[in-house]
């Protein structure tokens, strides 16, 4: 789904977007509106006001004390509620974009994305056996854990900007972190999505090229290259107070582009 957003699945748009719609449903997301959200994420990385992926950082400080304690309990004991909450944010942002239809293709792709999602899980709920639905529920639980383990280290813990601040792809290493796993895990399990600094600097490069780009980018950036070895970041931050993780400091200083 992610590579389809960047047009890297196939040169044929109908195949590329068709794959995106199908795998979007499997990922519990409507592909076409999420595609717009993800493109905006790349355009506004580093700006907490404009980046839709960072919405949790904006709303977290306004949660009530009781709800925060509930979130902290789940975070500490690996209940993937934050992954579910992130998906809720994505669906809310997707719905906002569905309501801003801009043309025939936009209408058709939004419709296909929603119909595929509803059709997949609606048909399961209608005809699948209980044990099949139970398996889907268990799979969804572990999928949300993976969302937190794989995705959250990529952008949390960095100072953010506000207002109209916008950064070129070559400058976005300031707000991204790569996670270095073994070749097998990176290539065959994560499709190199863990090389997130590289992805943000070269967003239209297909997933299978990102490891090679790391060998060029990491020495070029030097100390400006942010990396976690394996799941180190998520393991360390599970023990910390969420108030220190899901918070941002606006108008961060801009570091010199080392690329």
The low-confidence residues of the chain, meaning pLDDT below 50, are 253-259
pLDDT tens per residue across span 75-93? 999 999 999 999 999 999 9
Q: How does DSSP assign 97-142, residue by residue?
A: HHTT--SHHHHHHHHHHHHHHHHHHHHHHHHS-HHHHHHHHHHHHH
What SS3 class is residue 255? coil
The pLDDT assigned to 257 comes to 41
The pLDDT assigned to 251 comes to 57
Q: How does DSSP assign 9-47, residue by residue?
A: S-SSHHHHHHHHHHHHHHTTS-HHHHHHHHHHHHHSTTB
Determine the Cα–Cα distance for residues 247 and 68; give it in Å rounded to an integer. 13
Both tokens of residue 70?
A: 């509930």
pLDDT tens per residue across span 120-137? 999 988 888 888 889 999
Query: What separation in angstroms does the CA of 86 have from each of 7, 80, 109, 161, 196?
Result: 24, 10, 23, 21, 18
The pLDDT assigned to 14 comes to 93
Both tokens of residue 234?
A: 């998520």
Angle at Cα 152 formed by Cα 147 and Cα 153, nearest 5°? 130
- CB of 32 within 8 A of CB of 100? no
The pLDDT assigned to 259 comes to 34
The predicted model scores a pTM of 0.90
- CB of 149 within 8 A of CB of 80? no
């Amino acid at each position: 789904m992610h590579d389809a957003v960047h047009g890297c699945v196939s040169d044929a748009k109908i195949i590329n977007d068709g794959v995106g719609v199908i795998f979007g449903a499997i990922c519990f997301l409507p592909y076409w509106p999420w595609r717009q959200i993800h493109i905006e994420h790349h355009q506004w990385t580093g700006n907490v006001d404009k980046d839709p992926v960072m919405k949790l950082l904006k709303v977290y400080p306004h949660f009530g004390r009781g709800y925060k304690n509930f979130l902290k309990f789940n975070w500490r004991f690996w209940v993937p509620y934050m992954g579910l909450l992130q998906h809720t944010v994505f669906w809310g942002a997707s719905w906002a974009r569905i309501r801003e239809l801009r043309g025939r293709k936009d209408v058709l792709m939004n419709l296909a994305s929603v119909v595929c999602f509803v059709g997949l899980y609606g048909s399961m709920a209608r005809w699948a056996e209980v044990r099949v639905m139970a398996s889907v529920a268990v799979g969804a639980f572990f999928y949300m854990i993976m969302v937190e383990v794989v995705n959250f280290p990529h952008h949390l813990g960095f100072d953010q900007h506000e207002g109209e601040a916008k950064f070129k792809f070559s400058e976005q290493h300031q707000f991204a972190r790569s996670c270095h796993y073994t070749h097998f895990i990176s290539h065959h399990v994560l499709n190199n999505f863990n090389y997130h600094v590289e992805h943000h600097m070269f967003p239209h490069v297909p997933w299978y090229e990102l490891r090679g780009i790391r060998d060029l980018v990491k020495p070029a950036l030097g100390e400006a290259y942010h990396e976690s070895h394996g799941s180190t970041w998520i393991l360390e931050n599970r023990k910390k107070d969420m108030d220190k993780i899901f918070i941002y400091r606006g108008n961060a200083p801009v570091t010199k582009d080392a690329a």
